[in-house]
Structure 1
Amino acid sequence: MRISGRVAGSVALAAAVGLGGSLVPPASAEAAAAEAAAQSLPSLVAYVRGGDVYVSKGATEQRLTTGGGHARPRWSPNGQQLAFLKKGQLWAMKADGTGQRQLATRTAAGPSWSPDGKWIAFASMSCTGGPGVYRIAATTAGAKPEVLFPSSCREEDLPEEAATDSPATGSLNDRLRTDDAVAWSPDGTRVAFRGGDCESTYDACLSIGTVATGEEKTVASYGGGGSQNSGFAVVPSWRSDGAKLSWTAYQEGETPAETKPVHLVEYDTVSGTKRTVGGALDRELSYVDAGRAVITSQNKGGSWLAVLGLATGTRTLLRSGSQPSVQPLPR
């Protein structure tokens, strides 16, 4: 059953997912490996630590926000701006942290830019009372959000709702399962998001929606519809060529062998095949290229960014933090 609180809560939840606390300086060997990995990255990585947004590439980092309550930074296609959440609402800023501006007053969840940079998609309560996907003009002051999904809400008035910045609590699973981060496809035709029409059949699901038609395709589902499991699929991320889509998942099966702790799934958008990448508790993948991604992993009891080799499973720790977003290279 859909309830509006899921969206309102998910924004604050995103800010708390995987936070590693204060920066823990790595041991010398870890520092050397992190430096080598960072130097091999083609661009900056934006991430969250302690509720604030940082960017880094190499031995140094730059703090872009202060005061906490920030989450889900996402680069614009030209790499010159970041969309992010501030106390549950949608904001944007320049890559150096200046020019911070609020884009919408609605409660929002993890944003994603359209590939032409004109729009930002985000999740918020829909006319059905459950989570929906909106878009808003990225550069127009006072722009009004437009409904993308569910398509049945496109002709309805925007529902009124109050923002919330309540802190998230509970286990990692609890914090992740209602994270409503969305991901706009590189060709601009589709948006991946948690939930959708599939929630009328399943207990939890992930959808790919076609912007032009409003049609939805279910790519992951848990419970109901004959599925003898429970779990979730959240925080989708597209590879730059659109051939792969990844997400963070959890599955509790009928037997221990069918149960998987939080992990990463990579989906082939042509064949529909899926595979697990990385290891247990890896999450929040952001592609670097076809062979590498920056993820949130576990280290020393906290959350750390790591560069993951998608074919080999090798990883190199970068920094304490979570919710990575890799800056696109200039086209």
Structure 2
Amino acid sequence: MGKFGQVAGSVTLAAAVGLGGSLVPGTGAAAAPVTGLPSLVAYVRDGDVYVSSGATERRLTTGGGYARPRWSADGRRLAVLKKGQVWVMNADGAGQRRLSTRPAGGASWSPDGKWIAFASLSCTGGPGVYRIPATAADGQPEVLFPRDCRGEDLPAETTAGPATGSLRERLRYDDAVAWSPDGSRVAFRGGDCESTYDACLTIGTVATGAEQTVDAYGGGGTQNRGFAVVPSWRPDGAKLSWTAYQGGETAAGNKPVHLVEYDTATGTKRTVGGALDRELAYVDAGRAVVTSRNNGGSWLTLLGLAGGGRTLLRSGSQPSVQPLPR
């Protein structure tokens, strides 16, 4: 398979359509101009990858079929799913290269840039996590989780169709993973906890294969139902966020799609943002870019994590914020 798209240039979008101002979701009324972000945000619109840091955007791919762009720690490369397989490319869209033919969930870079982790079918029949060298072409993935699958033969590759249905149905089985900033852990959907719960989110320790359940739904004495998916680490590793849904025992316990932030030191959780916010990507300790709903579509929104202030940025979803140089 050859390269899968070329840089399509820059596009400047008029403030008249509401890009670059604070908006109240559903009104389409623009207010003050948005302050430029400190780095680029990569995101998806209509199946192609774009980057933007303010009033202009650049399209990196053409032809559709792309999902879950993720920046490397040095901000120079992107991992992306192309028709359900892991590819990498430079920050400008050049140098596109497939890493594995194995069907994959959203990928994540190791902090040193040497490895890419992704989810795929494990030897147990459930979701597992693999890593592959970031420089390999169609290389052999190595199992990270479940620990018991390390050293086992890899399951046969399968072909999965695109997720369909409602937003909630599409998110439920999203297998995006997130490598911690210190490189020691990976957060992912599922894990050993699925032997107890109907759905769960896990932090796995790379060196030992040990797993810690951080959110769970149904089973194990838990009477609710739901899911926790698309994890994202704060740049300092002190917080982990994810997209969740909960159906309670009664209507009072129902929570539509929303965002949870987890303190990795204390284990405390809190809801951030508003209803139907999802796919949080940290800018820094106080701000994040999330996907929200506006006028019936998906929009990137800059969210203040302390006060809840919101600024709509532009149409799109699945944001990833380019790390700043350290």
* TM-score, length basis structure 2: 0.91
User: Which residue does 1:98 correspond to in 2?
Assistant: 94
Q: After the TM superposition, which of the residue ranges 245-254 and 27-36 deviates more from structure 2? A: 27-36
Give the SS at the match of 1:234.
strand
Task: Name the structure where helix makes up a greater proportion of residues.
Answer: 1
Question: Between the two proteins, what is the percent identity of the paired residues?
Answer: 76
Partner of 1:17: none
C-alpha deviation, 1:297, in angstroms = 0.3
Cα distance, 1:139 vs structure 2: 1.1
Match of 2:67 in 1: 71
* Contact kept in structure 2, 1:37 and 1:307, CA below 8 Å: no
Distance in 1, matches of 2:231 and 2:121, equals 19
Q: Which amino acid aligns with 1:80?
A: R
CA contact (8 A) 1:105 1:163 kept: no
Tell me: CA distance 1:38–1:139, structure 2 relative to 1, closer, same or farther (3 Å): farther
Residue 9 of structure 2 corresponds to none
Confirm or deny: 8 A CA contact 1:89 1:163 kept in the other structure: no
Q: Report the CA distance shift for 1:133/1:161 in structure 2 as closer, same or farther (over 3 A).
A: same
2:231 paired with 1:236? yes
Alpha carbons of structure 1 residues 28 and 63: separation in structure 2 relative to 1, 3 Å: closer
1:155 maps to 2:151: yes
Give the corresponding residue for 1:252: 247
Amino acid at match of 1:139: T
CA distance in 2, matches of 1:30, 1:99: 30
> Match for residue 168 of structure 1?
163
Indicate which of 154, 179, 196 corresponds to 1:184. Answer: 179
Q: Closer, same or farther in 2 for the Cα pair 1:56/1:30, shift >3 Å?
A: closer
Aligned length: 307
Q: In structure 1, what is the Cα distance between the partners aligned to 2:19 and 2:67?
A: 26
The amino acid of 2:61's aligned partner reads: T
Secondary structure at the residue paired with 2:139? Answer: coil
Structure 1 residue 31: Cα displacement: 3.6
Letter of the 1:317 partner, please give it: L
**Superposition deviation, residue 253 in structure 1:** 0.3
The structure, 1 or 2, with the larger RCO (C-alpha pairs under 8 Å, 6+ apart) is 1
Q: Is the 8 A contact 2:20 2:54 kept in 1?
A: no
Report deviation, 1:25.
Answer: 6.8
Which SS does the other structure have where 2:93 is aligned?
coil
Question: Displacement, 1:89?
Answer: 0.4
CA distance in 2, matches of 1:87, 1:104: 12
CA distance in 2, matches of 1:167, 1:186: 30
Does the 8 Å contact 1:45/1:325 carry over to 2?
yes
State the AA in 1 paired with 2:54. G
Q: 1 CA distance for matches of 2:63 and 2:179?
A: 29
1:37 to 24, 34, 37: 34
- Following superposition, which runs of at least 4 residues in structure 1 exceed 2 angstroms of deviation? 23-38, 140-143
1:204 maps to which residue?
199
2:222 alignment partner, one of 212, 227, 241: 227
By how many angstroms is 1:256 displaced? 1.6
Q: CA deviation at 1:129?
A: 1.3
When residues 28 and 144 of structure 1 are mapped into structure 2, their CA distance, relative to the original with a 3 A threshold, is closer
- Which residue of 75, 83, 86 corresponds with 2:79? 83
Match of 1:296 among 291, 295, 308: 291
> TM-score, normalised to structure 1's length?
0.90
Unaligned regions of 5+ residues in structure 2, if any? Answer: 1-11, 23-29
CA distance change for structure 1 residues 174 and 29 in 2, over 3 Å: closer, same or farther?
Answer: closer
Q: Over residues 259-293 of structure 1, what are the superposed CA-to-partner deviations in whole Å (9 max), with x where a residue is unaligned? A: 10000000000000000000000000000000000
Determine if the alignment matches structure 1 residue 140 to structure 2 residue 139: no
For 1:218, the equivalent position in structure 2 comes to 213
Post-superposition offset of 1:38: 4.8
| CA–CA separation in structure 1 for the residues paired with 2:306 and 2:124 | 41
